[in-house]
């Protein structure tokens, strides 16, 4: 049953996180700090990876790509949100909203795939160490990263195309802080049941199946670690896996809550809070988690601080 046909929507108005000026000022400061921490922290990881020859391993190659992805991810939505917190007119054109929806979804899907690839890397390193350098070489790593990006860009294109082909004829108030697919879908003046089913199936393929593969990989990893005799080797293995598991738990936990619940049962105010975790909080925490929990990264940071010019060569 279509909604009442009004004027064709050419722009959307963000409802945002709050309409109170004082709260908006506080939120602006908080999210500006989050954004700067995310960009600076992830740029530092990329710079250290490029400058330190001791970090030229597949694990840190994937981490540097994850850091680049996180910078792109937060840059697709936070700048628009910061502008909206400072202005009374929180509008975005239909074409800009479509672009934001496409890139934010593509970056989110890429993160799902990349976290799965990183789990595979840890599985090979711990469970099959003799084959590791042969199987997980630089060429293979590059191909896996490129496949993650290509698959996500294509998947996002499919979902976006289906969403944007729906009629949008008002109201045009978007109950979100960025153009998120399910929020835009709620404004379509047509039956969206089929598209919601398609998005649910995509969620299973893109979110849930990689998550199960990660869990399976870590089941084998845990079994292998427990059989190790050396306490030092066990500690190092748990350390390298702990960083990745922490990121996976935060990112996948919130993404599954967001995309694998029927929309009719999922309050939009709750969706905004959940979305903040995988679009803002996780990218900010990634460099902190990896730099604080990884001994190799901490040593590399110390070496970089002793020769700061090397980071910019």
Number of domains in the chain: 1
pLDDT of residue 232: 73
Residue 4 lies in a domain: no
Token pair 């153009």 in the structure block, residue? 179
pLDDT of residue 201: 84
Say if 112 falls within a structural domain.
Answer: yes
- Is the per-residue pLDDT at 260 higher than 70? no
- Hey, which of 18-22, 30-34, 242-246 has the most confident mean pLDDT? 30-34
Q: Does residue 82 sit within a domain?
A: yes
pLDDT level of residue 292 (50, 70, 90 thresholds): low
DSSP assignment of 230-267, as one string? -HHHHHHHHHHHHHHHHHHHHHHHHHHHHHSS-GGGS-
Domain membership of residue 194 (yes or no) is yes
Asked whether 149 and 110 are in contact (CB, 8 A), the reply is yes
What are 195-216's pLDDT values in tens digits?
888 888 887 888 778 888 888 9
- Does a structural domain hold residue 169? yes
User: Minimal CA–CA distance to 120: which of 217, 207, 24?
Assistant: 217
Q: Spell out the long-range contacts of 217-223 with Cβ–Cβ below 8 A and sequence spacing 24 or more.
A: 217/119, 217/120, 217/122, 217/123, 218/119, 218/122, 218/123, 218/245, 220/123, 220/127, 221/122, 221/123, 221/126, 221/127
Of the segments 73-77, 178-182, 307-311, which one has the largest average pLDDT value?
Answer: 73-77
Q: What is the mean pLDDT of residues 145-159?
A: 92
Judged against a pLDDT cut of 50, whether residue 265 lies above it is answered with no
pLDDT band at 309 (very low <50, low <70, confident <90, very high): low
Closest CA to 255 of 216, 290, 210: 210
Distance CA 69, CA 153 (A): 13
In a domain? residue 260:
yes
Is there a domain that residue 237 lies in? yes
As a whole number, mean pLDDT of residues 60-86 equals 90
At residue 153, does pLDDT exceed 90? Answer: yes
CATH number at residue 103: 1.20.1070.10
The residue to which tokens 């917190």 are assigned: 85
Which comes out higher in pLDDT, residue 208 or 141?
141
pLDDT (tens digit per residue) in 159-196: 888 888 888 876 788 888 888 888 888 888 877 888 88
At 264 the pLDDT is 42
Q: Flag whether pLDDT at 149 surpasses 70.
A: yes
Q: What is the DSSP string of the chain?
A: -PPP--SPP-EEEE--S---HHHHHHHHHHHHHHHHHHHHHHHHHHHHHHH-GGG-SHHHHHHHHHHHHHHHHHHTTHHHHHHHHH-S--EEEHHHHHHHHHHHHHHHHHHHHHHHHHHHHHHHHHH-HHHHHHHS-HHHHHHHHHHHHHHHHHHHHHHHHHHHTS---S--EESSSS--HHHHHTT-SS--HHHHHHHHHHHIIIIIHHHHHHHHHHHHHHHHHHT---HHHHHHHHHHHHHHHHHHHHHHHHHHHHHSS-GGGS-HHHHHHHHHIIIIIHHHHHHHHHHHH-HHHHHHHHHHHHSGGGGG-
Domain membership of residue 83 as a residue range: 11-312
Q: Is the peptide bond before 123 cis (omega within 30 degrees of 0)?
A: no
Q: Look at residue 22 and tell me if it is in a domain.
A: yes
Ordered DSSP codes for 60-114: HHHHHHHHHHHHHHHHTTHHHHHHHHH-S--EEEHHHHHHHHHHHHHHHHHHHHH
The residue assigned the tokens 């919601």 is: 196
Chain mean pLDDT for the chain: 81
Residue 79 has phi, psi (to 5 degrees) of: -55, -40
**pLDDT digits over 83-115, tens only?**
888 887 788 888 898 999 999 999 989 988 998
Q: Tell me what pLDDT residue 257 has.
A: 66
What average pLDDT score do residues 120-143 get? 89
């Amino acid at each position: 049953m279509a909604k009442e046909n009004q004027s064709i929507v050419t722009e959307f108005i963000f409802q945002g996180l709050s309409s109170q000026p004082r709260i908006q000022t506080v939120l602006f400061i908080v999210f500006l700090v989050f954004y700067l921490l995310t960009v600076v922290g992830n740029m530092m990881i990329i710079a250290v990876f490029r400058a330190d020859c001791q970090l030229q391993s597949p694990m840190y190659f994937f981490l540097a790509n994850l850091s680049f992805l996180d910078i792109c991810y937060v840059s697709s939505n936070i700048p628009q949100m910061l502008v909206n917190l400072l202005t009374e007119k929180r509008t975005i054109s239909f074409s800009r909203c479509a672009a934001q929806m496409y890139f934010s979804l593509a970056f989110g899907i890429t993160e799902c795939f990349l976290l799965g690839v990183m789990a595979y890397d840890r599985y090979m390193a711990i469970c099959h160490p003799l084959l590791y350098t042969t199987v997980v070489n630089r060429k293979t790593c590059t191909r896996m990263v490129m496949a993650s990006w290509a698959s996500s860009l294509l998947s996002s294109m499919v979902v976006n195309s289906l969403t944007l082909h729906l009629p949008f004829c008002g109201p045009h108030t978007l109950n979100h802080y960025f153009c998120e697919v399910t929020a835009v879908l709620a404004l379509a003046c047509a039956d969206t049941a089929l598209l919601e089913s398609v998005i649910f199936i995509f969620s299973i393929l893109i979110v849930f199946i990689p998550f199960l593969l990660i869990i399976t990989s870590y089941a084998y990893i845990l079994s292998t670690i427990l059989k190790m005799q050396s306490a030092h080797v066990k500690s190092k293995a748990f350390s390298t896996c702990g960083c990745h598991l922490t990121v996976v738990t935060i990112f996948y936990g919130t993404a599954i809550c967001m995309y694998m619940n029927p929309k009719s049962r999922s309050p939009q105010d709750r969706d905004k809070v959940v979305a903040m975790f995988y679009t803002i909080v996780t990218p900010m925490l990634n460099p902190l988690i990896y730099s604080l929990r990884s001994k190799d990264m901490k040593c590399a940071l110390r070496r970089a601080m002793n020769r700061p010019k090397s980071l910019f060569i």
